[in-house]
Amino acid sequence: MATVTVSRKPLSLSERAYLPQILAGMRITLKHLFSPNVTLSYPEQRPAIPPGYRGVPTLVMDPHGREKCVSCQLCEFVCPPKAIRITPGAVPADQPDRAHVEKAPAAFDIDMLRCIYCGLCQEVCPEEAIFLQNQFSMSGYSRDEMVNHKDRLYELGGTLPDQHFKWDKKKAAEEHGNQH
Amino acid sequence: MIALWSNLHPALQMLLKGLAVILVIFPIAGASSLAERKVSAWIQGRPGPNRAIPIWFAWVPVIGPMLQKLGVFHLMSDGVKMLFKEDALPGHVNKPYFILAPILAMIPAFTTVTVVPFGAYLDAAGRTIPLMLANVDVGILAVFAVGSLGVYSLIIAGWASNSKYPFLGGVRASAQLISYELSMTLSVLPVFLWVNAPGTAGSLSLARVVEFQSQPGFWGGTWFIFLMPVSAFVFLVSLYAETNRQPFDMAECDADLVGGFHTEYGAFKWSLFFVAEYSHMVVGSAVFTLLFLGGWNPLPWVPLSDVAVWLHLADAPILLGLLSIAIFLGKVLCSIFVFMWVRWTIPRFRYDQVMKLGWQRLLPLAIANLIVYALIIAWLQPKN
């Protein structure tokens, strides 16, 4: 390997005397003494979350307040630390407009002690039903508390806009008889 | 009131005065530890400790939150924690010496206060009488002699802890403190050469130095920091080294020696070392103020007696005494702030750099300074 000789400038007199350098340093620290804080007082002040942030995984509903997850279990299979556990079930009888979806999760648990926030579940989801959102702080007093059940996941997720309304289109297509 | 006071036995009077001084020094040392945390935080762009508040103080409208922001209650809770924490005694230490070391650290820190004047008032004849516990002629010698005993507590602590890091800390402390004591003593010699003109009664009292800086006229009122900047500089640097402050805290050195001499200490014994360090800082700053910053004189060329005349306080010795103490304490606190300011500016020296700086730079500088001022004084003094 080629050797690069770095030329070092000899120290000037003021640098060797050391004292002017110290005074310059003290001037800088004095400036910092009066400059505003760079920290946040955390629980009262929250940091701005950048877009695309991967926080706690949550389940979302569509703008009509309907469940989006169809219990396909792709996220369960893709989850590297096996944090997701889904029990598939039928669509509840009180949702006649979703009867053609066939399946819905009877139970949906995400163990936040296992989750590594990789976002693969969000990426794999064909229904855009699971999202890693802005919440970054999870705490609990027991292992059980750290498992997010279905109702908690929906509470955390809320509603997100939907561009497709995939199952509405399917139903409309079915009704007009142009099955593919 | 005053009659009652003067009727007390002199020994009792001295005891009460001593207690009063300790009762001032101790809180200042404690408040310095809080100030250190706050100053470090502000320099680093943080708010610093601002959480703790007792519930009944949270109800006080403006003052409560203000004290909370200043972190005053952190200081109190720290003190309570230090007091009530389990005082563990490691099994491998040399117990008597291990317990003796923190006590030894406190003794010189508080003993040196006796010869340090902290204020003055005018008596009926218009003379300035210094306020101090013992106006003895040895003055500065007593400060150096007793103050340098502080190194024994570090050495004993390092040795009695019977483990590697404290031992290294103790060895470093002994070498460093002894080498910087030389330049420190040499740097104040020109001041006393200047003060003690031939033919007058010689004195090493610190009060005499302040008296000298409060004379009328241009040369009389000049503080020694202007007359002898090199002396002041060498004294200040040695003072930082003597009080084990950064950039010279070789004895503690938390980066490479964990905690140095106090690695094995905890709870109350540790807090004694802590208070002793800050008391050393307070006394050191006080001595620096007296020698070079004109003591209780508010400004250069403005002695306290002039201020007393302007404010019509010459007949009120108690008020004037309080004013002079306030001026003096203000200067001492500024000097302590500079201690902290320097600490959070300069990184710690390597051990060999400390030794090199002490022996090859400061000591020759102090000696040259002494010779130059001795020649100047010999040339200036009136020939007969």
CB contact under 8 A, B47 and A29: no
Which residue is closest to A22 within chain B, CA to CA? Answer: B346
Is the confidence at residue A180, as pLDDT, over 60? no
Q: Do B44 and A22 touch (CB under 8 A)?
A: no
Q: Which pairs from A29-33 meet CB under 8 Å and 24+ separation? A: A29/B43, A29/B341, A29/B344, A29/B345, A30/B341, A32/B42, A32/B43, A32/B44, A32/B45, A33/B39, A33/B42, A33/B43, A33/B341
Q: Quote the pLDDT of residue A142.
A: 93
**Do B39 and A32 count as a contact with CB atoms less than 8 A apart?**
no
Asked if residue A108 has pLDDT above 80, the reply is: yes
Contact (CB<8Å) B45/A41: no
pLDDT mean over A38-49: 88
**Domain boundaries, given as residue ranges, for chain A:** 57-163
Q: How many CB atoms lie within 10 A of CB B161?
A: 26
Rounded to whole angstroms, the Cα distance separating B19 from A54 reads: 62
ipTM: 0.77
Mutate one of B44, B343, B349 to test the A interface: name it (highest A CB count within 10 A).
B44
Contact flag B44-A32 (C-beta cutoff 8 Å): yes
Using a CB-CB cut-off of 8 Å, the residues of chain A touching B39 are 33
Nearest to B42 among A22, A26, A33 (CB): A33
Q: Quick check: B345 and A33 CB within 8 A?
A: no
Quote the minimal CA–CA distance from B11 to chain A in Å.
47
> How far A166 CA sits from the closest chain B CA (Å)?
51
- Distance from the Cα of A135 to chain B's closest Cα (Å) equals 25
CA distance A154 to B332: 62
Strand A84-90 and strand B128-131: the pairing is: unpaired
Q: Does B42 touch chain A (CB under 8 A)?
A: yes
Token look-up 């036995």 returns: B9
CB B88 within 8 A of CB B264: no
pLDDT per position in chain B (384 positions), as tens? 666 777 777 788 888 888 888 888 778 887 888 888 888 999 998 888 888 888 887 787 888 888 888 888 888 888 888 888 888 888 888 888 888 888 888 888 888 888 888 877 777 666 777 777 777 778 788 888 888 888 888 888 888 888 888 888 888 888 888 888 888 889 888 888 888 776 677 778 888 788 778 777 777 778 888 888 888 889 999 888 888 887 887 777 777 777 778 888 888 888 888 888 888 888 888 889 888 888 788 777 777 777 777 877 667 777 777 888 888 888 888 999 998 899 888 888 888 888 888 888 889 999 999 999 889 888 877 665
Chain B residues with CB-CB distance to A34 below 8 A: 42
| pTM for the structure as a whole | 0.80
- Return the CATH number of the domain spanning residue range A57-163: 3.30.70.3270
CB of A33 less than 8 A from some CB of B: yes
Partners of residue A26 in chain B, C-beta under 8 Å: 341-342, 345
Among all chains, which residue has been given the structure tokens 């890091």?
B165
**Contact criterion met (CB below 8 Å) for B296 and B325:** yes
What is the number of other CB atoms lying within 10 angstroms of the CB of residue A90? 12
